[in-house]
Amino acid sequence: MTVQDPRPGSPSPRPAIGFDRERYIELQSRHIQHRREEIGGKLYLEMGGKLFDDHHASRVLPGFTPDNKIAMLERLKGELEILVCLNAKDLQRQKVRADLGIPYEDDVLRLIDVFRERGFLVENVVLTQLEEGNHVAHAFVERLQRLGLKVARHGVIPGYPQDTARIVSEKGFGANEYSQTSRDLIVVTAPGPGSGKLATCLSQIYHDHQRGIAAGYAKFETFPIWDLPIEHPVNLAYEAATADLDDVNLIDPFHLAAYGEQVTSYNRDVEVFPLLRTLLERLTGSSPYSSPTDMGVNLAGSCIVDDEACREAARQEIIRRYYRAVMHERINDEDDEVSQRVAMVMSRAGCTTENRAVVAPALAVEARTGEPGAAIQLADGTVITGRTSALLGCSAAMLLNALKHLAGLPDEVQLLSPDSIEPIQTLKTEHLGSRNPRLHTDEVLIALSVSASSDENARRAVDQLRRLAGCDVHTTTILGTVDEGIFRSLGIEVTSEPRFLRRALYHKR
């Protein structure tokens, strides 16, 4: 085990609190109520980002908890309902939610379950951009209906979003199915970006007005933060997170023209704003908004209490996004288009992979041993490494070393003896068909838990697992899906070098 004390200037994985959670909940709740009073009638509130597990926001705004948004909405629970939408094309391409490792169709069901468990009304699902030949999406519609949900189908509208005359007509939004809602505040959310939330809101407003129901729109989008500079690392981290969608931050040209003030927006909001304004003008005679920024209800910038802490947290997130992009490209044999976009963002943020404190120690282990290495940075900045051996993979070794260190156990203490590891190796190689006898993280944790019933040192080590949440890890090879899942469950942020352990054409993860 190699233990490195925090180096001068080395970033800690636990930055100072930079964001006031309670102030955010209070300001946002008040602002939504004010917007409802301004709009009158039904208000469709598009919720950008994740609604109750916004891990990106919690990483770049230390102090923002993943459930911040849902905690705010709970104050309005009796007055709102939630509508979930999903892009049918994401089902066809089997898109997976990266932070959870589950496909979007499963995440829709998970989201509905969680919302209902918290007492929210959820009855409607909208499938956007649904085409006749998308059999996967049509099968999902039938599945949702069997589960008792109401499903509306929205097709692809030619010329969207530029051809406003067609869009705001019976051949455009008029051809979409209508979701019958029962409350005046409708929160529109989705498993991820590009799901068609705005188009869903606009389609609903069109149908409401056809029925004589007053309705309006507002947007709750955390990022980019409009009153932070366009090159602020927190806003750049949003670009890195959406690099696969080719999103870019830009100055809101409509806001600049209307008020002479430079504020930050992004390309999709700017592109679709003329449609939104035209729709509202055609339906109500005027638009309450002069710019994309006007339609937002985002007060996150007012809740930043330590700008430097947020800047550093955002720079670390950009680096993680870069490693995630290059790893995804290596696994899927794709070109480097997305990773190069993130690399450009990383350059604009003034950081490199060298600023990730766990990268150099992991690479040093590999250089010294000739085998894969891993490193973890603990809450106090201490870096613990692990090397590959005949008994353990580097991630498993690192995990044991970290737990031993946190438990205050001497380096010479063996948490797992070779005698306890050998039967597991035999089971793997002789009975389960594995070519790799080394223990993975899940196997190590199970063995350690079994030992904890009779070994005090093992029990002390197991008790430290909760202290690993929020720590950063880097490995010199791409992790298997099992190790990846274990780290995710422990709340550890992992990056890897974009190479596999073995040279081969096929890699089982």
d(CA 441, CA 395): 7
Per-residue confidence (pLDDT) for residue 9, from 0 to 100: 45
For 95, phi then psi, to 5°, come to -65, 140
d(CA 474, CA 464): 20
Answer whether residue 407 shows pLDDT above 50. yes
| Of 44, 350, 341, residue with least CA distance to 207 | 44
Per-residue confidence (pLDDT) for residue 51, from 0 to 100: 80
- In 412-459, beta strands by DSSP E: none
| Of 337, 345, 300, residue with least CA distance to 319 | 345
Per-residue confidence (pLDDT) for residue 7, from 0 to 100: 47
* Span 241-270, average pLDDT: 94
Per-residue pLDDT tens over the stretch 434-448: 777 788 899 899 989
For the chain, give every residue range classified as CATH 3.40.140.40: 356-496
Q: How many CB atoms lie within 10 A of CB 427?
A: 12
* Span 276-294, average pLDDT: 88
Residue with more model confidence, 448 or 428: 448
Residue with more model confidence, 440 or 291: 291
Q: What is the share, in percent, of the chain residues with pLDDT greater than 90? A: 71
Per-residue confidence (pLDDT) for residue 503, from 0 to 100: 57
- Burial group, residue 80, by CB count within 10 angstroms (0-12, 13-18, 19+): buried
CA 166 to chain centroid, in Å, comes to: 35
Taking each helix axis from N to C end, the angle separating 197-210 and 267-284, rounded to the nearest 10 degrees, works out to: 0
Per-residue confidence (pLDDT) for residue 3, from 0 to 100: 63
Helices (H) and strands (E) in the chain, counts: 19, 15
Per-residue pLDDT tens over the stretch 385-405: 999 998 889 999 999 999 999
Helix (H, G, I), strand (E, B) or coil at 465: helix
Per-residue confidence (pLDDT) for residue 507, from 0 to 100: 44
For the chain, give every residue range classified as CATH 3.10.630.10: 21-222
Confidence of residue 506 (pLDDT cuts 50, 70, 90): very low
d(CA 309, CA 278): 41
Per-residue confidence (pLDDT) for residue 8, from 0 to 100: 41
What own/partner pairs with CB < 8 Å and gap ≥ 24 does 488-496 have? Answer: 488/99, 488/100, 488/101, 490/465, 492/376, 492/468, 493/13, 493/59, 493/320, 495/319, 495/320, 495/323, 495/324, 495/327, 495/356, 495/358, 495/359, 496/323, 496/327
Please state the pTM of the whole predicted model: 0.87
* Span 371-383, average pLDDT: 96
Per-residue confidence (pLDDT) for residue 433, from 0 to 100: 72
Q: How many CB atoms lie within 10 A of CB 74?
A: 17
Percent helix, strand and coil across the chain, each to the nearest 5: 45, 15, 40
Rg (CA), the chain: 25
Per-residue pLDDT tens over the stretch 457-468: 999 999 999 999
Buried b (16+ CB within 10 A) or exposed e, 212-226: eeebbbbbbbbbbbb
Q: Which of 139-143, 161-165, 409-413 has the lowest mean pLDDT?
A: 161-165
Per-residue pLDDT tens over the stretch 89-126: 999 988 888 767 789 999 999 999 999 999 999 999 99
Supply the DSSP symbol for 439: B
* Span 61-80, average pLDDT: 92
| Superfamily per CATH, domain 356-496 | Domain of unknown function (DUF1846), C-terminal subdomain (3.40.140.40)
Answer whether residue 505 shows pLDDT above 80. no
| Superfamily per CATH, domain 21-222 | dip2346 domain like (3.10.630.10)
* Span 340-348, average pLDDT: 97
Per-residue pLDDT tens over the stretch 185-240: 999 999 988 899 999 999 999 999 999 999 999 999 899 999 999 999 999 999 99
| Of 307, 310, 301, residue with least CA distance to 31 | 301
Q: Which of 134-143, 250-259, 281-290, 336-345 has the lowest mean pLDDT?
A: 281-290
